[in-house]
Structure 1
Amino acid sequence: MQMKKLLAKTMIAASIAGSALAVQAQEVTLKIHHFLSPTTFIQVGVFEPWCAKLGKESGNKIKCQIYPAMQLGGTPPQLFDQAKDGVADIVWTVPGYAAGRFPLSQVFELPFTMTNAEATSRAAWEFVQTYAKQEFKDVHLLAAHVHGPGYMFTTKKQMNTMADFKGMKFRAPTPLTNKMLAMLGATPVGMPVPAIPEALSKGVIEGAVIPYQVAPSLKVHELVKFATETDPKYPALYTTFFVVAMNKAKYDSLPADLKKVIDNNSGIEFSAMAGRVQEADDAPGRQKFKEAGVTINTIPAAELAKWKKATDSLDDDWMANATKLGHDGPKLYKAAQDLIKKHTK
C-alpha cells in the first residue's frame, strides 16, 4: 500500500512538473532589430506598445527584447536578410535599401504619390497582399507602411525653385528617390538614414530628404540652416516604404494560440498604426528646428507642379519595369493610386 501511494505521488509530481514545462515551453521571447536609436518613434511609439499588447493578449507568454541601432550587428540594408536567416526574429527595415530587390512595392516611393502616412500605409499593406506577396515570400510579413511627407534639409542654400537643386549633393534613401533628385537637377547620394549626420558635418552632402520625425535623433537641426517643406495640400514630394518582417521558422514554431495573438496584431491595422505614429512625430520634430533657429519655408503648389512634371517619367519607368518583370505595369500603378484614394479621408 505504501509503495502504491509513493508511486501515485511520484506520478502526480511528474505530471505537475511536465505541465509546468509545457507552459514554459510555450513562452517565447522575440528578438526585434532596427536601425534607429532607442528613443525614436519606431521603438517608443510602435514596438514598445505593440509588444505590451502582445504580452497582455498572450498572458505574458510573448515577450520582446528590442535591439536598436543595429546592436545585433550588420548594416541597415542587411536587416531583411537577418529576418530571413533568423539572426533576428523581427526586423523593421527599408526594402529599398536593397536596390532592385523589391521593385513592385516601391510604387509608393514614386514622387508626389503619398497623401498621408496612415492612408498610404493601409494602401501599401493591401497592395502587397494583392500584388507583391512574392517579394516577401522569404519572411512572415507583419506590416508595411510609409512615413509622413519627406522634406528638404540643407546646410548652405535655401530651396525655393527647381533651379536650386542644380549640382547640389543631396542624400536620398532609395533608388527611386535618387532618380527623382537627379531629375530635379541634384547630384544624388544614396545612404541609409544613420549615415546622414556624418555626411552633413563632413560636407559629403549639402542636403538631405527626410521626414521631420527622424531628424532630431540625428541632430540634423544642429547641422543645417534651412528646412524646406512642400504645400500640405499637394501630394508629398516623396515617402519611404518600410516593412516589419518576421522570421518564418520562428512564426511557424509558435503554438496556435500565440500565432493567433501575432495574427491579431499584424496586418493592415498594425501598418496603419505605424504610419500614423510616425507622421504624428513630425510636429515635435519640426519644433526642434524652430527652437534651433533653422529657417523654414514652404514650396507653393504652383512650383511643385513644375517639379512633378520634371519627374513624371519616373512613373512611366516604374510601369515599364514592372511590365518587363512579367506584370501589368499600368494596372499595378493604377491599383496603388486607387488604394491610396480609397483610404485617404
Structure 2
Amino acid sequence: MKLIRIAAAALGALGALSGAAQAQEYVFKLHHFLSAKAPAHARMLEPWARRVEANSGGKVKIEIYPAMSLGGKPPELIQQVRDGVVDLVWTVNGYTPGAFPRTEAFELPGVFLNDPAAANVAMRRMFDDELSKDYDGVEVMFLHVHAGQGIHMVDKLVRKPEDFAGLKLRIPTRTGAWAIEALGAAPVAMPVPELPQALSKKVVDGALIPWEIIAPLRLQQQTRYQIEGHDQTRIGTTTFQVSMNKARWDSLPDDVKKAFRDASDEDWLREVGRIWRASDDAGIALAVSAGNEHVVLTPEETDALLAALEPVQRRWIEEVSARGIDGAALIARARALMAQNASR
C-alpha cells in the first residue's frame, strides 16, 4: 500500500508539472547587462517578472538572463530586442547615444535632482504624446531612472567646478559627457561592468554613477570618496527601459498584454523609485563602513556646481532642435510633472 501511495503521489506531481508547463503558453527571454546579484536584477526585474506571471494566471513565463549571458555587449541590447534575437531587454538608453533624444530631457543636470519615483511617473505621463517617437521597433513596458549620478573618486576630493579640471571621468550617457566637459574634465564612455578595472588601473580618476552600484561592482575597494550635493542633489541621472520586441507584442492576446500592463503601472513605477533609492542608501552605507568618505556639498557648493552645468541644458536644446524637437518644452513639461508627483 505504501508503494502504491508513493507511485500515486509521483504521478500526481508529474501531472501537476505537466499542467504547469501547458499553462505557460508564452515564454519570454529577458536579457540584461548586470549580474544576478545586482539590486536591479534581484529587487526590480525578478519581482516585475513574477508580477507579470501572476497577472497572467500562469500563462506567462519570463526567463531572465543576466550579465549578457545570451551573448553580445551591453550597447547591443536594444538592437537584439528590435531584431527579435531576444523578447525583452533591460538596458541603458545612453548606451546608444542620441537614439532616445526626447527621453534625454530627464537625464539633464538641473532637471533631475533627487527624486527617481517622480521622474518615473513623469516619463509615463509624457510617453504617449512626447516620448514614444524614440521607441520604434519596441513596445516599452516601463521607463525608469536611477537615484542620480553621484561622484565617485579614486583619490582626489572634488568640491568646486575648478577641482574637475584635467580629470578623466566615466559616464554612460552623452548628456553626462557634456556635464563632465562643462566642468573641464574629460569624459570616458564605457559600460558599467568595465568600470572597476578602469578605476583600479587609473584609466579614469572617477565616475558619475549612483551609489546603488557600489556593492555589485565593489567600488568601495576602488575609490576613496563618494560625493553628492546638498539634499542628495545629483548631476543628472540615467534613463533605462524594459522593452519587448514589437512584433512579439503585437502577436499577444489582449489578456496577456494586460498582464504586462498591469504589472507596469504607476504604482509599480513609484515602487521602482523606492527600490533604487533604498539600494542607493545601502550602497553608500557599504562604502562608509569600508572606510570611504561620504562627502555632502554645502548648499552654496551645490549651487555653484549646478550653475557651472547650466550650459549643458542649452547645448541639449540646440542639439535636439536641429532634429525638430522642442527641447525647452520637454524640459518644462518634465519639471512640472516631477514637481506634481514629488515623493520627497
Does TM, normalized by the shorter one, top 0.5? yes
Please show how residues 330-341 of structure 1 align to structure 2 within 5 Å: 330-341=328-339
DSSP 3-state at the match of 1:143: strand
Partner in structure 1 of residue 15 of structure 2: none
Aligned to 1:224: 223
SS in 1 for 2:127: helix
User: Aligned pair 1:41/2:39, yes or no?
Assistant: yes
Q: Which residue of 2 aligns with 1:109?
A: 107
Q: Percent identity?
A: 35
Q: Mean alpha-carbon deviation: is it higher for 48-57 or for 144-153?
A: 48-57
Query: How many Å separate the matches in 2 of 1:317 and 1:58?
Result: 45
Which entry has the higher C-alpha Rg, 1 or 2?
1
Q: Per-residue displacement from partner, 1:254-302 (whole Å, max 9, x unpaired)?
A: 2222122112122434433323211211111111101210122111121
1:187 is matched with which residue? 186
> Which letter does structure 2 place at the counterpart of 1:196?
L
Q: Is residue 143–residue 268 contact of structure 1 (8 Å, CA) maintained in 2? A: no
Q: 2:167 aligns to what?
A: 168
2:235 to 229, 234, 237: 237
* Cα distance in 1, alignment partners of residues 48 and 69 from structure 2: 20
CA distance in 2, matches of 1:89, 1:269: 24
Match of 1:158, SS state, is coil
Q: What is the rounded CA distance, in whole Å, between the counterparts of 1:255 and 1:24 in structure 2? A: 17
Aligned to 1:292: 290
Query: 5+ unaligned residues in a row in structure 2: which ranges?
Result: 1-17
**Alpha-carbon distance, 1:26 to partner:** 6.3
The equivalences for 1:1-345 within 5 A come to 24=22, 27-114=25-112, 115-232=114-231, 235-345=233-343
Q: 8 Å contact 1:76–1:93 — kept in the other structure?
A: yes
TM-score normalised according to structure 1 size:
0.89
Give unpaired runs (5+ residues) of structure 1: 1-19
1:145–1:272 Cα contact (<8 Å) kept: no
CA contact (8 A) 2:182 2:312 kept: no
Deviation by residue 1:22-55 (Cα, 9 ceiling, x = unmatched): x938611110111111011221111211122222
User: Following the alignment from structure 1 to structure 2, what is the Cα–Cα distance between the partners of residues 299 and 156?
Assistant: 17
**Which segment is superposed worse, 269-278 or 244-253?**
269-278
**Partners in 2 of 1:265 and 1:254 — Cα distance?**
16
Code of the aligned partner of 2:319: N
Matching residue's letter, 2:188: V
